[in-house]
Structure 1
Amino acid sequence: MIEAPYSVLLSVVFVVTAVICILHLAQARRSVGTSDPHHAAHQGPVATAVHVNHLVMSLAMLLMVWRPVGQVGTWVQVIIFSVFGVLMLAGLPSVHGWVERVGVFTHLVLNAAMVWMLLAMPLLMGHAMDMSSDEHAAHHGGGSMDSMPMQMTPAPAWATTVNWVAVSLSFVVAVWWLVRILRERGHRVHAACHLLMAAGMALMLALM
């Protein structure tokens, strides 16, 4: 679906985010009950939902880079990421501090961008227009289907506009996590994972 060298770059990005999420979830299981409040801020139901969400998103994006997911696969993913979004939103009252709450909102933005990407992909990437229609065949006096050219229908203007809004929001999310990496001493790997996810999302949307 995505041509080289971007397919390779995005594959590396999403493999890295998937591995980080797996390691974080494993670490969270080992450190349940810690008394460190700073560490505890990165645990709990919301933090777990965030990392499971990003793990599933990483795998979904990897699949999307290399092959179409089909209509059933698209709707399954839309439901999954919508449910994760609802779970994170429902857990927002339990998150303390405005910085951590903004962090949750950034994940909601990425989930919304993911759902948009899944639903709008046919519009964004266009589809082949069958130039072997009766009208075209009559115009050219017939001919074999193999000799007929194929045209790609352009994306509607409104879809392109919405897509660039999604790209911009994903970029803003990436900048937010970059700032957190530069300003916070701990959990930089945690922030780097979300930075990579946001940057990968922005790139995927832009390429489409």
Structure 2
Amino acid sequence: MKPKPPTHITVFAKADGAAPTYWECPSCGFLSGDARFLDTEHPCPECGAVGVERRRFPSDRVRRLDERIRSYQKQGDGEIVVILVMTLLETILEDILDRMMDAHGGDLPLRRMIMDSQRSIGVRIGKLFPALAGEEFEEAAAELGYRDFPKHWRTMREARNAFIHDSPFGGPRERLDARMGEDAMVLLDQAYRLFVLLNNRFVADGHTRS
């Protein structure tokens, strides 16, 4: 069953050439870029919780990686940018999937076992996400305004894989140019927004309905 339409509006964090800063409600997991959300007396738009300190999202670990990626981008190193952006997106996806399992009531050992047994990014997107969300990743992205994101992400992953691994079919990809690095940065900025929307739809809503 698909989640009910949200009664709230997700406020995106400002785009200022760095990893965005969102604040998370520890009660339901709702994410908001609204600075008012820092005030513990400002009610969570999803669950109404007040008086609880909000946590910063993404994590410091992700923010450090984001900072390195943007540094490489300024240096024009498209190859490193593409490789690291793909790694970062897979990290954020893993976090979202873990949050979704938590919203479904999965305890930590179960979530860890599932993620360890579903290591392929293709399997996580193609099988695990639909099992948790009740719809395909592509469908959810389209409904949230990011119809082309899955296709662009897949194309970028294929380019990254062809660059890193020799293929017996198409042969290796010799380089990832600066243009691909620029495209990867666009994908990264879109990913933050899409994953926040996915979180608020499938995680925060799941917690408030459980």
Give the TM-score taking structure 2 as reference length: 0.28
Greater relative contact order (Cα < 8 A, sep 6+): 2
Q: Which structure shows the higher helix fraction? A: 1
Q: TM-score, normalised by structure 1?
A: 0.29
